């Protein structure tokens, strides 16, 4: 059933409707490079857990598998590769967490600012009643960040931040590098089990006197058991077999879980960039009038220009977003009367949290 648009949102002709006295004027812009950080307890805890899990994987890979290994070339190559990927993953995590995702200036929905836009007939601006800001096209309000975010895809507690226009590249790199180190760790664990189980761990179990067929194997004397256990150069781990097994099983569980999770997130983010459609827009299916760019152009803008190694560098940013001008705050309505009669109830429901002021012909 078709219902009038104003059934869910009040449309007034005067900017006084925005109640500027209830909006705090936007603060002065801080210095360039000011750190962005969300003070959310759950997000901070998730970020700490993320770092802990990466450092745990680092500990097991280095001190359980690589350092005790007899093949020094194997240890050096895999150690450098794993540490490089882990460093890039943590650097991407920091950039995704501490970068402004594209927050709209808070408290700019004032009468003076609305009047300065000089709205023409058929033009409308929307105000977010939660943060008193005028919402440009494709901006959405985040209840955790308490701000409207341009091209907001979703709020991720693991990076304690929204994924938006300015930090989507870092989030994509974070998921990619976590997936790579998870896969790398799983492969190394597999090789470790295959190479060390029968040879070194069997000898170590004998040294502890833990064997099933004691009659067929040389027994260990009581005095030998009391002596400190010497770890030979052929040992695959400096830890006891039960400890090593537990550490490796936990690493396998962590690696498999995060490999699946981050691979899915990486795929959805790349799909969103290529289709120029955020996760929120895909869920709500809002077909707002906007310029649809080519897939490759959208990817270049998200990753910072033409294809190069900087695409994989978390220290190089995406294309610098163009500052908002007066036209970006205004949304064009071709025919207000037609839109009012034809907008569906579902589309109207999506707008019920937005206030608007519109100028029409009298």
What does DSSP assign to residue 352?
T
CB 200 within 8 A of CB 235: yes
User: In degrees rounded to 5, what are phi and psi of residue 342?
Assistant: -110, -10
In angstroms, how far is the first alpha carbon of the chain from the final one? 29
Taking each helix axis as running N to C, give the angle between helix 41-59 and helix 72-98, from 0 to 180 degrees, rounded to the nearest 10: 170
**What is the C-alpha to C-alpha distance for residues 5 and 159, in angstroms, rounded to an integer?**
37
Q: Burial letters for 239-259: b for 16+ Cβ neighbours within 10 Å, e otherwise?
A: bebeebeebbeebbebbeebb
Q: Which of 23, 128, 156, 236 is catalytic?
A: 156
List, as own/partner pairs, every contact residues 299-306 make where C-beta atoms lie below 8 angstroms and the sequence separation is at least 24, other chains included: 299/273, 299/274, 302/168, 302/169, 302/172, 302/273, 303/169, 304/169
Over 117-166, what HEC string results?
HCCCCCEEEEEECCCCEEECCCEEEECCCCEEEECCCEEECCCCEEECCC
What does DSSP assign to residue 2?
B
Active site residue 156: yes
Pairing of strands 11-12, 355-359: parallel
Task: Dihedral sign for Cα 134, 136, 139, 145, please.
Answer: negative
> Quick one: which of 289, 327, 334, 329 has its CA closest to 121?
334
**What is the C-alpha to C-alpha distance for residues 213 and 122, in angstroms, rounded to an integer?**
89
Task: Dihedral sign for Cα 158, 164, 169, 175, please.
Answer: positive
Query: What separation in angstroms does the CA of 356 have from each of 76, 107, 126, 199, 281?
Result: 62, 15, 4, 74, 20
Biggest CA pair distance of the chain: 105
- Catalytic residue list: 156
């Amino acid at each position: 059933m078709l219902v009038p648009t104003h059934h869910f949102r009040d449309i007034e002709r005067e900017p006084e409707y925005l109640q500027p006295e209830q909006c705090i004027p936007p603060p002065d812009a801080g210095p360039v490079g000011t750190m962005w950080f969300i003070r959310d307890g759950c997000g901070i805890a998730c970020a700490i857990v993320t770092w802990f899990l990466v450092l745990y994987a680092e500990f097991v890979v280095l001190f359980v598998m690589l350092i005790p290994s007899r093949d020094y070339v194997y240890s050096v190559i895999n150690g450098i590769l794993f540490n490089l990927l882990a460093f890039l993953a943590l650097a991407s995590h920091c950039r995704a967490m501490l970068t402004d995702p594209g927050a709209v200036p808070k408290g700019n929905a004032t009468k003076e600012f609305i009047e300065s836009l000089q709205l023409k007939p058929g033009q409308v601006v929307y105000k977010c009643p939660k943060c008193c800001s005028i919402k440009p096209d494709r901006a959405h309000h985040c209840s955790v960040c308490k701000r409207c975010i341009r091209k907001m895809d979703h709020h991720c507690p693991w990076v304690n931040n929204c994924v938006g226009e300015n930090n989507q590249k870092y989030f994509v790199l974070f998921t990619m590098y976590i997936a790579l180190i998870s896969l790398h760790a799983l492969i190394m664990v597999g090789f470790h089990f295959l190479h060390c189980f029968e040879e070194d761990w069997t000898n170590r179990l004998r040294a502890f006197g833990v064997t099933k067929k004691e009659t067929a194997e040389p027994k260990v004397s009581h005095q030998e058991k009391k002596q400190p256990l010497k770890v030979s150069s052929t040992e695959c781990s400096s830890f006891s077999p039960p400890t090593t097994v537990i550490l490796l099983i936990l690493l396998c569980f962590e690696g498999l879980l995060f490999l699946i999770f981050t691979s899915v997130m990486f795929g959805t983010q790349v799909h969103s960039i290529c289709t120029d459609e955020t996760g929120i827009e895909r869920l709500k299916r809002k077909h707002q009038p906007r310029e649809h760019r080519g897939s490759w152009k959208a990817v270049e803008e998200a990753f910072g220009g033409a294809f190069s190694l900087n695409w994989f560098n978390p220290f190089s940013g995406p294309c610098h977003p163009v500052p908002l001008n007066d036209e970006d705050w205004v949304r064009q309505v071709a025919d207000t009367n037609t839109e009012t009669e034809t907008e569906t109830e579902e589309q109207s429901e999506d707008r019920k949290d937005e206030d608007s002021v519109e100028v029409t012909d009298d």
